[in-house]
């Protein structure tokens, strides 16, 4: 375990207990209810996948988890602690990192300045760790190392996606929330990004990954949750998911295609975390 990680309150949940537990959460805007009581768990070290079509409530779920959108009812428990009413800032201080939908890098700042902002909580916690973390993040994303001084707004979509993930890693998160990292990227850029995300997951960082690109998402998630009109329609270990059922719960029927069956078949052999 790294020095930086030690200086933060580390998860002490009992063995097998979820790191994050979302229970019956509802949320909405004005008279509209968007989330109708959603529940799921994230076990330490696991990549929790949330899939769903446009408007299913995926980003609202992420907003509630980030503490930006209030839960109207239900509970969010992290490591045994009820965080439902906790501010977004305090959640970040718990070791939560966010890669928001649309990346939202600061276009007028350089790559390195963006990374420095991502290290805001790290620098407050343990200032001396910043250079080491910067070095390790830049090693993980060589394209960013090459372009440290380039303005983020002038980078390609794929490079900005890498920067958004890298920026979140600068706080050495225990739990990372990633909202549709693949949106708008070419298949090649998506593949590179998912390779990077998988490598992050392999270091033991727990993750909640929201994706519309089911074929890519299924390659790195441990659990599959399908969200439809603000309800969890399917919740299973990836090994247990059947392509037909997935298409049906997503509401796309057989449109998912044969590629999905191949990915699911390739995951059957993976051992459970
Ligand atoms: N600030 C808001 N005010 C009113 N309605 C909102 C607001 N944010 C989201 N919604 C509504 O909540 C629903 C779910 O939106 P959400 O952004 O969670 O969808 P999503 O699953 O992330 O879709 P996408 O894949 O397109 O990003 C949509 O009907 C959306 O219009
Ligand atoms: Mg969204």
Binding site membership of 34 for ligand 1 (Cβ less than 6 Å): yes
For residue 71 the two structure tokens come to 């839960």
Ligand 1 within 6 A of CB of 250: no
Q: Does the beta carbon of 56 sit less than 6 angstroms from any atom of ligand 1?
A: yes
Q: What span, in angstroms and rounded, lies between the C-alpha atoms of 60 and 34?
A: 8
Structure-token match 């343990």, residue found? 126
At 86 the three-state DSSP class reads coil
Prediction pTM value: 0.90
Query: Cβ–Cβ contacts within 10 Å for residue 252, how many?
Result: 13
pLDDT tens for the chain, residues 1 to 273: 343 443 444 445 566 789 999 999 999 999 999 999 999 999 999 999 999 999 999 999 999 999 999 999 999 999 999 999 999 999 998 999 999 988 889 999 999 999 999 998 887 788 889 999 999 999 999 999 999 999 999 999 999 999 999 999 999 999 999 999 998 899 999 999 999 999 999 999 999 999 988 999 999 999 999 999 999 999 999 999 999 999 999 888 767 777 888 899 899 877 655
Pick the CATH number of 3-268 from 3.40.50.720, 3.40.50.300, 3.30.710.10, 3.50.50.60: 3.40.50.300
Give just the sign of the alpha carbon dihedral 128, 130, 133, 138: negative
Q: Find the 58 Cα to ligand 2 centroid distance in Å.
A: 5
What is the Å distance from ligand 1's center to 60 Cα? 6
Ligand 1 pocket member 58 (CB < 6 A) = yes
Q: How far is the CA of 271 from the centre of ligand 2 (A)?
A: 30
């Amino acid at each position: 375990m790294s020095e930086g990680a030690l200086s933060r309150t580390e998860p002490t949940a009992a063995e097998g207990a979820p790191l994050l537990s979302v229970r019956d959460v509802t949320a909405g805007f004005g008279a509209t209810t968007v989330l109708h009581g959603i529940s799921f768990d994230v076990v330490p070290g696991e990549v929790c996948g949330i899939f769903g079509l446009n408007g299913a409530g995926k980003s609202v779920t992420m907003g509630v988890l980030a503490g930006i959108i209030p839960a109207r009812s239900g509970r969010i428990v992290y490591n045994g602690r009820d965080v439902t009413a906790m501010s977004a800032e305090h959640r970040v201080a718990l070791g939560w990192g966010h890669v928001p939908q649309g990346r939202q890098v600061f276009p007028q700042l350089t790559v390195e300045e963006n990374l420095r902002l991502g290290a805001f909580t790290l620098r407050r916690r343990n200032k001396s760790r910043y250079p080491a973390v910067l070095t390790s993040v830049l090693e993980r994303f060589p394209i960013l190392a090459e372009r440290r001084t380039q303005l983020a707004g002038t980078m390609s979509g794929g490079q900005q996606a890498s920067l958004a993930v890298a920026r979140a890693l600068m706080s050495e998160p225990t739990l990372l929330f990633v909202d549709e990292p693949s949106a708008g990227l070419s298949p090649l850029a998506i593949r590179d990004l998912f390779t990077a995300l998988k490598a992050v997951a392999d270091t033991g960082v727990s993750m909640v990954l929201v994706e519309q690109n089911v074929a890519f998402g299924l390659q790195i998630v441990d659990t599959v949750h399908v969200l439809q009109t603000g309800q969890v329609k399917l919740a299973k270990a990836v090994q247990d998911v059947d392509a037909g059922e997935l298409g049906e719960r997503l509401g796309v029927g057989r449109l998912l295609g044969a590629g999905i069956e191949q990915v699911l078949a390739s995951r059957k052999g993976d051992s459970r975390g």
